[in-house]
Structure 1
Amino acid sequence: MSRDEVDRAIVGLVAAYDRISAAMFEMDAHPALVLLRGGGLRGRTAEVATEVLGAVEVLWSQFAALGAQLDRAKTVRAERSRPGDSELRLLTSVLRHPIVGLSASGMVLDSLAAGTPASWQTVPGLADDLQAVAAEVVHALGEVEAASGRVAKLYAQPAAALAKASADATNLGGDALKGSDVDALAGKLGDAQAEALRDPIGASGPPPALVSEIDALAQRIADLAALRSAYPERIRSLTTAVDEVAAAEAEAREVYDLAATKIANTGLPPAPDAVGGLRAHLAQLGQLQREGRWLRLADELSNVEGSVARAKERAAHLHEAAAGLLERRTELRGRLDAYRARAGRMGLVEHEELSARHRTAQDLLYTSPCDLPAATRAVVAYQRYLNQLTERGNP
């Protein structure tokens, strides 16, 4: 090599060494390398750790050899501004000839005592190999870091949900956490994440059953928090609804009383009277709310709302049933009058038997209390006899 070729080669190697040095620093400071060196890994991550840690050991061995040979070349070149033939031959040997002995794994063998080299490499070739392998190792570490980040992200959501549920439950106080062990859930989640980090590359996320348990707790606490916020409005609405039940029951009792006066043996069930129990239940809800018994309050509030709806429906149904009896009597009276008018048009008003049947039906319908089944039979009997007379003519 000429002096200029030597100088260019050294400058190129210095630049390569600086790039490799930066890559080695990035590699050595990489957080994923700490994980791989920590041990206890399994699965694909354990395989990557074996590959990467082996490559790192080889890289440091070769990096040290590159530095030593570069220093050697720089020292020889610095001895004379114009190196002689002997210096140029030595520099040519260092810069061009395969002088670095490598084992089968790539480790540098400094002496024959360290073993017989499986191959020999030039210093520039060593620099090229170092740059390529260092880039591969940094890339592999990046994949491990990305996998670890993915695991952290997968576990962040249930961890945040659990932390929020715990904080909200503490804010609620009372029995919000009754039957739940937040610390145990947090411990299970932490153990699962630690296990996932043993093989972040192959990890699939938190156990579904554990996530479901955490989600259920978080939803329950969220529902209780929503209950606390909505309680004043719900209790106002419920109080109004109970007042409506009271009014509906009062109306139903009025119709009941009238039906009992006008209709004999109504066959109606007892008059509606749920409002007293509902008001007592409302008072119980207030006590539960003041004591912070949220779980019980949630159940009881739903129960009362259901009871109010059923009581209102029952009052309306019984009102309709009682009113129906009175309407039935009115309907029968109207039918009897219509049949009587028909008899008049046919000249049968004075018919003795028909008139007797009319009086029977009329007496039943206009006597209080009215025997509604008997009145119904009497009206039907009058109608049938009138039809018979109409069909065969007036006897």
Structure 2
Amino acid sequence: MNVSRWPMSRTEADRLIGDLGVAYDRISAAMYALDSHPHLAVLRAPELSGVTARVAAGLLARVDVLWSQFTAFSDLLHRAREVRSRRSRPGDTELRELAGLLRAPVVRLGPDGMVLDDASADPPAHSSGLVDLARRIETEATGLAGALSEVVAARTRLVEGFGQLTATVARLRADVEGLGEDSAVAGDLDRLGRQIDEAYGNALGDPLGATRDGPSGSGVRDRLRELTVEVTGVAERIADLIELRDGYPGRVARLAAELDDLVAATTETDRIYAVAEAKIANPGLPDLPAANPALRTQLHLLDQLHRERRWQRLGAELDVVERAVVTARRRSAELYEAADGLLRRRVELRGRLDAYRAKAGRLGLIEHVELSARYRLARDLLYTSPCDLGAATRAVVAYQRQLNDLAERPTPGAKGAVP
């Protein structure tokens, strides 16, 4: 049925024109928002690639279709308003013309939705009236806005991921400038800054592919993780340098005190060595290490590096000196213990011999000839300098064994012996 031959009432015409006018205002706002959307310009960039390039081509084609439909809708609504404005009370001619504009499927659409202007062209895939066209345009504008929002979200995720790294590198550059450190750290930051910019630029060429599952997205995420690990490593190095700078006065003061302690410990070790070598025959002690005045000299080098703000070299040298002091202190303690152990062993043997002598007295064996001879031998060895500690040990053990043997089998005439 040809609806254009059936005139519509003035009330219906006014209602439809009013409703379409309201729809036109909504659509105009949606089209303006779509046309001014910053990411629409991004989708037109020639450097797009991958998923985003394919999506962009489809979206831009849909935008073109939408504009052709909006233009047709705007023109037809304008013509309907002109017809309605001819007379305050339109006649059948105007109402029949309005019916043709407002009711009839007068907009010819191709298979892709593009408006067909040439009436002589191939039959359209679809013909639409103004009301149906308005719904189409609003629905499609909403869909395009959602599709653009997906691109916006993808770019936002990239900005957040790479932007955080960029901000961290900028902060670290400021820290390095505060350190006055002109070194490999600054070079590493420059290199990382360039790599982050390069990776970010590559990802922005295909933001949808870079943030979705798939080889492209996995590659971008892997690269982002690699850069994050590198930036974190440099940040830790810089934090160590800052800690070194701020903690150097206390650290070098402790080191100086430890050097003083080392000197005192070395002096005491020398003393106990001299005593042991004088009182113990063939002590078998390792040689004492030569004095190391370089450790004290290195303190002045450390101060110079600190004044020159050469933090990395300072940290390395400070670690070397601290380890050297700890090693020297431990070695000095070991040597002291070795020498003092010999002297303590002699004291211990003297004490054991006295205890065994007292036991012999309680058993009435003080005058036992052979036992007394063993006692004198052990005592002479222990109280002669230098003391042959090995021989003295064997003599004390021999005295102990004979005493124990005699205590178990008392000799005739000895106290406790059976008549």
C-alpha distance in structure 2 between counterparts of 1:273 and 1:113, whole Å: 110
User: Could you tell me how far apart the structure 1 residues matched to 2:113 and 2:65 are?
Assistant: 6
What residue in structure 1 maps to residue 417 of structure 2?
Answer: none
Which amino acid in structure 2 is aligned with residue 264 of structure 1? A
Q: Counterparts of 2:135 and 2:291 in 1: how far apart (Å)? A: 92
TM superposition shift of 1:379: 0.9
TM-score (norm 1): 0.94
Instruction: State the distance in 1 between where 2:296 and 2:121 align.
Output: 95
* Offset at residue 64 of structure 1 (A): 0.5
Amino acid at match of 2:389: L
SS of the aligned residue for 1:393 comes to coil
Give the 3 Å change call, closer, same or farther, for CA 309–238 of structure 1 in structure 2: same
Task: Verify: 1:294 aligned to 2:311, yes or no.
Answer: yes
Match of 1:3 in 2: 10
Quote the residue 1:96 is aligned against.
Answer: 103
| 1:226-375 paired onto structure 2 within 5 Å | 226-271=243-288, 276-375=293-392
Q: Take 1:195 and 1:267, find their aligned partners in 2: how far apart are those partners? A: 72
Aligned to 2:20: 13
The Cα shift of 1:333 comes to 0.4
- Encode CA deviations 1:307-364: one digit per residue, 9 max, x unaligned: 2222222222222222211111111001111111122222221222222211111111
Rounded to whole Å, the distance in 2 between the matches of 1:292 and 1:339 is 69
Q: By how many angstroms is 1:227 displaced?
A: 1.2
**1:75-154 equivalences in 2 (<5 Å):** 75-113=82-120, 115-154=122-161
Separation in 2, partners of 1:208, 1:302: 32
Give the alignment's TM-score, normalised by structure 2. 0.89
Quote the offset at 1:115 in angstroms: 4.3
Shift in alpha-carbon separation, 1:211–1:114, aligned structure 2, 3 A: farther
- Compute the displacement of 1:61 (Å): 0.3
The whole-number CA distance in structure 1 between the counterparts of 2:161 and 2:350 is 78
Are 2:39 and 1:39 aligned? no
Displacement of 1:273 in angstroms is 5.7
Q: Is the 8 A contact 2:161 2:224 kept in 1?
A: no
Q: Are the equivalent residues in 1 in contact too, given 2:185–2:234 (CA < 8 A)?
A: no
Aligned to 1:65: 72
C-alpha distance in structure 1 between counterparts of 2:12 and 2:204, whole Å = 51
Tell me the distance in 2 between the aligned counterparts of 1:55 and 1:179.
49
Gaps of 5+ in 1: none
Q: For structure 1, which segment, 346-355 or 172-181, has the greater mean C-alpha deviation from structure 2 after superposition?
A: 172-181
- Of 221-230 and 170-179, deviating more is 170-179
Instruction: Give the conservation status (yes or no) of the 8 Å contact 1:158–1:215.
Output: no
- For the Cα contact (< 8 Å) 1:246–1:275, is it kept in 2? no
Cα distance between partner residues in 1 of 2:124 and 2:406? 134
Residue 23 of structure 1: aligned partner: 30
Aligned to 1:197: 204
Out of 193, 208, 225, the position equivalent to 2:242 is 225
Asked if structure 2 preserves the Cα contact closer than 8 Å seen for 1:165 and 1:222, the reply is no
The answer on whether the counterparts of 2:258 and 2:325 sit within 8 Å (CA) in structure 1 is yes
Aligned-pair Cα RMSD in Å: 1.9
Distance 1:11 1:150 in 2: 43
Ranges in structure 2 where 5+ consecutive residues have no aligned partner: 1-7, 211-216, 413-419
Amino acid in the other structure paired with 1:123: L
Aligned mates of 1:225, 1:274 — CA distance in 2: 34
Q: How far apart, in 1, do the equivalents of 2:198 and 2:344 lie?
A: 74
1:77 to partner: Cα distance: 0.6
Instruction: Specify whether residues 296 and 193 from structure 1 end up closer, same or farther in structure 2 by C-alpha distance, changes over 3 A only.
Output: same
Equivalent residue number for residue 166 of structure 2: 159
Q: Out of 289-298 and 150-159, give the one that drifted further.
A: 289-298
Aligned counterparts of 1:338 and 1:234: Cα–Cα separation in 2: 52
Which residue in 1 is equivalent to 2:3?
none
Q: Tell me how far apart the structure 2 counterparts of residues 274 and 69 of structure 1 sit (CA, whole Å).
A: 105
Shift of 1:371: 1.4
The Cα of 1:121 is off from its aligned counterpart by 0.2
Could you tell me how far apart the structure 1 residues matched to 2:290 and 2:30 are?
86
Cα distance in 1, alignment partners of residues 164 and 389 from structure 2: 71
- Residue 387 (str. 1) matches residue 404 (str. 2): yes
Q: 1:280 Cα shift?
A: 2.3
CA distance in 1, matches of 2:111, 2:253: 84
Give every structure 1 segment of 4 or more consecutive aligned residues whose post-TM-superposition deviation is greater than 4 Å: 272-275
* Count, aligned residues: 395
For residue 356 of structure 1, what is the amino acid of its counterpart?
A: A
Q: Does the CA-based 8 Å contact 2:173-2:186 persist in structure 1?
A: no
User: Does the residue aligned with 1:101 lie in a helix, a strand or coil?
Assistant: strand
CA shift, 1:275, in A, is: 6.0
3-state SS of paired residue (2:46):
coil
Post-superposition offset of 1:112:
2.2
Report SS of the residue matched to 1:353.
helix
> What is the CA–CA distance in structure 1 between the aligned matches of 2:100 and 2:313, rounded to whole Å?
89
Evaluate the alpha carbon distance shift between residue 171 and residue 274 of structure 1 in structure 2; reply closer, same or farther with a 3 A threshold. Answer: farther
Q: Specify the code of the residue in structure 2 equivalent to 1:19.
A: R
2:228 to 190, 211, 229: 211
